[in-house]
Amino acid sequence: MRAWFRQVLAAALLAAVLLAAGCGGSGKKGSTAASARPVITLGTKNFTEEYVVGQLYKQALEAKGYRVELKNNIGSSEIVDRALTSGAIDMYPEYTGVIVQEIAKQTRRPRSALETYNRAKAFEAGRGFAVLARSPGQDVLANAVRPDFARKHNLKSTADLKGIGGFTYGGPSENYTRFEGVVGMRKVYKLYNLRYVPLQIEDRYRALASGKVDMIGAFTTDPEVRQRDKVALLSDPAGIFGYQNIVPVVKRGLVDREGPSFAAALNSVTSKLTDEALRSMNAEVVVNGRTPADVAREFLRRNPLP
C-alpha cells in the first residue's frame, strides 16, 4: 500500500506540474499572423496505444493544415481529465466505458457498446465537451493469468477466482480505486481473496511471467495476449470491464470554431481503428521497437484520409 500511495502521490504531482505549466494551454496559442490557425493541444494517457492514437490524430490534423502540439504520457484518465477540464489541453483519445464508469462514476452499467457511447456523449456534452465518432474496435481491460495457473485452478472466468484462496493481482495505481478494477472485482465477483500489487503498465507481463503476481490487468489489444503459451485471458461474465471504443474528447468550442472538416479528419482516423489495426500497431511499437510516430505515419500512408 505504501508503494501504491507513492504512485498516487507521483500522479498528483505530475498533474500539478502539467497544470502549472499550462500543458501547452492558452498561453501558447495564437499566432502573429492573422491567417494562422491557433495551436490545438492534444494530450494522451500513459500507455502505448494512446501514444499511437495520439500520433494518428496529430498527423491527420496536420495533413489538413492544423497546428498541433502533442502532450504525451500525461497520466491516467483521472489526471488527463483534470488537464482537459482545466483548459490545459484541448482534446485527447479516451475509451467510452472509462468515461461512463470511471469519470462520470455512473453506477448503472451500460448493456451495449452503443448505450455506452451515447451515455459518454451525453455526460461530456453536459460539461462542454464533444465526443466524436467511436472506433469499430475496442480495447477492454481483461484479467490475465499464466496458463499453468489457469489449469491448476480450472479458471475460465473472473468469477472462478472466488474459490481459489488468496492470490495477487497487479496493475497500475488507478486499478486499485476503479470499479473497472479492484473495486468492481470485490463488489461484483466477491474477490476478497485478492491482494493488489501496484505495477507500472509496462511491467505487467514481466511481473506475471516471473511469478511476482498471479494475475494482471491486461488490455485486449496488447500484443502479449496472443502468446497463448504465456498468457490466458479470463472472461468477464458480469461485464464490469464494460465496452471500450476509442473516441476523441474535444472542447465543444474547438469543434464549433474549426467546423466540419476538423471533426471529419478525426472521425476518418477513428473509423479505421479496428481490433486488428490496434493490435498490429501496438505490436509494431512493443515487439518491433518502432516509434509511435513512425507506426502512425505508415498506417496513414496505407489508409489515406479522404
Read off the pLDDT of residues 24-70 as tens digits, 9 standing for 90 and up: 333 344 444 434 779 999 999 999 999 999 999 999 999 999 999 99
Mean pLDDT of the region 146-151: 98
Q: Is the pLDDT of residue 154 over 60?
A: yes
Q: What does DSSP assign to residue 234?
A: P
Q: Is the pLDDT of residue 189 over 80?
A: yes
Task: With H, G, I as helix, E, B as strand and everything else as coil, classify residue 304.
Answer: coil
Q: Average pLDDT over the chain, rounded to whole?
A: 90
Query: 100-130 pLDDT, tens per residue?
Result: 999 999 999 999 999 999 999 999 999 999 9
State the number of CA atoms in the 13 A half-sphere of 56 facing the CB: 34
Q: Domain spanning 14-26+37-137+246-302: which CATH class is it, in words? A: alpha beta
- Contact indicator for 41, 13 with CB cutoff of 8 Å: no
Mode of pairing for the β-strands spanning 141-145 and 215-219: antiparallel
Query: 272-290 pLDDT, tens per residue?
Result: 999 999 999 999 999 999 9
- Considering the domain delimited by 141-233, tell me its CATH architecture: 3-Layer(aba) Sandwich (3.40)
State the number of CA atoms in the 13 A half-sphere of 202 facing the CB: 9
- The domain locations on the chain are 14-26+37-137+246-302, 141-233
Q: Is the pLDDT of residue 90 over 70?
A: yes
**Of 118, 151, 128, nearest to 250 (Cα)?**
128
Cell (9 digits) for 202 = 509496462
Q: Is the pLDDT of residue 251 over 50?
A: yes
pLDDT band at 306 (very low <50, low <70, confident <90, very high): confident
- Contact indicator for 208, 146 with CB cutoff of 8 Å: yes
Answer whether 14-26+37-137+246-302 and 141-233 agree in fold: yes
